[in-house]
Amino acid sequence: MKNISNTSKILIASIFLVILVYCIYGLLFWTIKGENEKVSILSNEAKIDLQKDESLRATKVSLSNNKDSIENIDSHFLAPDGVVGFIEGLESLGREAGVSISVASVTVEADSKNKNDFKETLRLRVITTGSWSNTYYFISLLENLPLSAEIKNATLSLTGASDKLAFTGASVSSRKPAAEEKWKGEIELTVRKLK
Amino acid sequence: MFNLLPEIEKKNIMREYILRRYVVLALFLFALGAIASISLFPSYLLSSVKVVEVEEQISSVKSSAIFKEAEALASALNLTNQKISALKPPEKYVYLGTLVSSIVEKRGGSIRLNGFKYNRGDGKNHGVITVSGIARDRESLSAFLTVLKEEEKFLEVNLPVSNFAQDRNAPFTIDIRGAF
């Protein structure tokens, strides 16, 4: 009986050892699995970081190589302190085009939706008086300014036509405008200005 | 010999025999488990080292000078893109000068113009240009209207019928809408 009892004890101890060793095995297995998963995730992260590093370096080189072009973009916007110079430029353009010009209003509007916007809008209302060809030439000059500018509204009206453009006689003859005849222009111009 | 033993002894010996077989099996399984565990240990060490190595690699990349400049570079790029977008003219942008000249060219000798009123479209609404003048007669006005309607830039050309009331020296006002 004593031998049988000892064998049982040995069996119980063996079973305990088996359970213990397989617990250790399982623990090792799950730890390695977890570590491998972590390595995989970290490797992907490292790969992404390396790619980001390369793209950042390329971006820096590109920004440096295109510095002049980027500065050139700025020249298409009115400088923050360039309003006075711009108005004087407009008056000079008017003289060049042969129209008399007066600036009726000047306002600066910031984009209310985007407070961090780099730009704001300079809005000018310009009144011109001159012949049709000079007024047309002035409008063409305004539209071809090397700035981000556009004409939003404009009213061009003929003043001083004593004959009210009436056709006289049966034939279509070309009409000669009278000396006092002028075209009055009211032009609303917007220009994008750097803040 | 075994057969000479009493029945109870026989059962005891058989039970002992079975127990010993289980002990051998258990020891075999233990040895198997121990070998498996020992063989996993190098892999465990390798994985741990690999984790540390990759973590160091990441931290060295993230602490590089270029990573610290990332935000500044992104904001410089973003600003440049915004500027380029701001400079891009809207689609189908038409200059006022082009618009006016395309109307003036079509008028012929029987139409004299005395006013233009222009409002640029804002993306949601079409642009409008209102042209006013004097037509020599109804036919001239009608012909002018037809020619204007043929222009691709003009989506809608409206002339109030009342403008045809006067046959000679008829004042008119034409509303033109378009993607400008």
Contact call for B115 and A158, based on CB within 8 A: yes
Residue A26's pLDDT band, with cuts at 50, 70 and 90, is very high
Domain shared by A51 and A107, yes or no: no
Report yes or no: B97 at the A interface, CB cutoff 8 Å. Answer: yes
State the Cα–Cα distance between residues B80 and A77, nearest whole angstrom.
Answer: 12
Q: Which domain holds residue B152?
A: 96-178
Domain shared by A127 and A39, yes or no: no
Domain shared by B26 and B83, yes or no: yes
Beta bridge partners of B144: none
Residue A4 pLDDT greater than 60, yes or no: no
Domain shared by B13 and B75, yes or no: yes
At B146 the pLDDT is: 93
Domain shared by B81 and B106, yes or no: no
- Segment B86-114 mean pLDDT: 87
Domain shared by A97 and A183, yes or no: yes
- Segment B128-136 mean pLDDT: 93
Residue A169 pLDDT greater than 70, yes or no: no
Q: Which domain holds residue A58?
A: 2-65
Domain shared by B2 and B18, yes or no: yes
Domain boundary among B58, B88, B118: B88
CB contacts of B13 in chain A (<8 Å) are none
At A178 the pLDDT is: 72
Report yes or no: B134 at the A interface, CB cutoff 8 Å. Answer: yes
**End-to-end CA gap in chain B:** 119
Report strand pairing: A149-159 vs A182-194: antiparallel
Beta bridge partners of A109: A121
Measuring CA to CA, how many Å separate A90 from each of A4, A31, B96?
116, 76, 17
Domain boundary among B70, B88, B106: B88
pLDDT digit string, tens, across residues A50-96: 999 999 999 999 999 999 998 899 999 999 999 999 999 999 999 99
- Segment B83-95 mean pLDDT: 84
Task: Pick the residue of A1, A15, A56 with the most B CBs within 10 A to test the interface with B by mutation.
Answer: A56
Query: H/E element holding A186?
Result: strand A182-194
Domain shared by A100 and A60, yes or no: no
Report yes or no: B59 at the A interface, CB cutoff 8 Å. Answer: no
| C-alpha neighbours within 13 Å on the C-beta side of residue A39 | 17
Domain shared by A180 and A95, yes or no: yes
CB contacts of B111 in chain A (<8 Å) are none
Report yes or no: B88 at the A interface, CB cutoff 8 Å. Answer: no
Contact call for B136 and A150, based on CB within 8 A: no
Residue A191's pLDDT band, with cuts at 50, 70 and 90, is very high
Residue A190's closest chain B neighbor by CA? B120
- Would you say residue A24 lies in a domain? yes
Global pTM value: 0.72
At A172 the pLDDT is: 55
- Would you say residue A37 lies in a domain? yes
How many inter-chain contacts (A to B, CB under 8 Å) are there? 173
B92 vs B42, higher pLDDT: B42
- Would you say residue A150 lies in a domain? yes
Domain shared by A109 and A188, yes or no: yes
| Residues shown for chain A | 195
CB contacts of A193 in chain B (<8 Å) are none
- Would you say residue A22 lies in a domain? yes
Residue A171 pLDDT greater than 70, yes or no: no
- Segment A16-43 mean pLDDT: 95
Domain shared by B43 and B5, yes or no: yes
pLDDT digit string, tens, across residues A138-160: 999 999 999 989 999 999 999 87
A171 vs B165, higher pLDDT: B165
For chain A, what is the mean pLDDT? 89
State the Cα–Cα distance between residues B58 and A52, nearest whole angstrom.
Answer: 12
Render chain B in DSSP notation, one character per residue. -GGGS-HHHHHHHHHHHHHHHHHHHHHHHHHHHHHHHHHHHHHHHHHHHHHHHHHHHHHHHHTSHHHHTHHHHHHHHHHHHHHHHHHSPPTT---HHHHHHHHHHHS-TTEEEEEEEEE---SSS-EEEEEEEEEEEHHHHHHHHHHHHH-TTEEEEE--GGGGS-SEEEEEEEEEEE--
Contact call for A157 and B114, based on CB within 8 A: yes
Q: How many independent structural domains does chain B possess?
A: 2
Domain shared by A153 and A110, yes or no: yes
State the Cα–Cα distance between residues A112 and A177, nearest whole angstrom.
Answer: 47
Domain boundary among B88, B121, B144: B88
Query: Å from A88 to nearest chain B CA?
Result: 23
Report yes or no: B138 at the A interface, CB cutoff 8 Å. Answer: no
User: Own/partner pairs for B61-70, CB < 8 Å, 24+ apart?
Assistant: B61/A46, B61/A49, B61/A50, B61/A53, B62/A49, B64/A53, B66/A53, B66/A56, B66/A57, B66/A60, B67/A49, B67/A52, B67/A53, B67/A56, B69/A56, B69/A60, B70/A52, B70/A56
Query: Å from A51 to nearest chain B CA?
Result: 10
Domain shared by B2 and B84, yes or no: yes
Residue A165's pLDDT band, with cuts at 50, 70 and 90, is low
At B176 the pLDDT is: 95
Domain shared by A88 and A155, yes or no: yes
- Would you say residue A72 lies in a domain? no
CB contacts of A151 in chain B (<8 Å) are 96, 118, 120
A112 vs B18, higher pLDDT: B18
Domain shared by A128 and A33, yes or no: no
Domain boundary among A38, A65, A92: A65
Residue B166 pLDDT greater than 90, yes or no: no
CATH of the domain at A124: 3.30.70.60
SS3 A98: coil
Domain shared by A6 and A50, yes or no: yes
Identify whether the C-beta of residue A144 lies closer than 8 Å to the C-beta of residue A179. no
CATH of the domain at B145: 3.30.1360.100
Domain shared by B55 and B118, yes or no: no
Which of A22-31, B64-73, B78-87 has maximum average pLDDT? A22-31
- The torsion angles phi and psi of B69, rounded to 5 degrees, stand at -90, 0
At A125 the pLDDT is: 96
CB contacts of B117 in chain A (<8 Å) are 154-156
Question: Which runs of consecutive H residues, i.e. helices, occur in chain A?
Answer: 2-65, 67-74, 83-97, 132-143
Domain shared by A30 and A87, yes or no: no
Measuring CA to CA, how many Å separate A65 from each of A19, A51, A57, A72?
68, 21, 12, 13
Across the interface, of B36, B64, B76, the residue whose CB is closest to A53 is: B64
Q: How many independent structural domains does chain A possess?
A: 2
pLDDT digit string, tens, across residues B140-160: 999 999 999 999 889 999 999
Residue A48 pLDDT greater than 70, yes or no: yes
Domain shared by B141 and B168, yes or no: yes
Domain shared by B55 and B128, yes or no: no
Domain shared by B149 and B75, yes or no: no
Domain shared by B1 and B79, yes or no: yes
Domain shared by B147 and B163, yes or no: yes
Contact call for B20 and A7, based on CB within 8 A: yes
Domain shared by A60 and A88, yes or no: no
The angle that helices A132-143 and B96-106 make with each other, rounded to 10 degrees, is 140
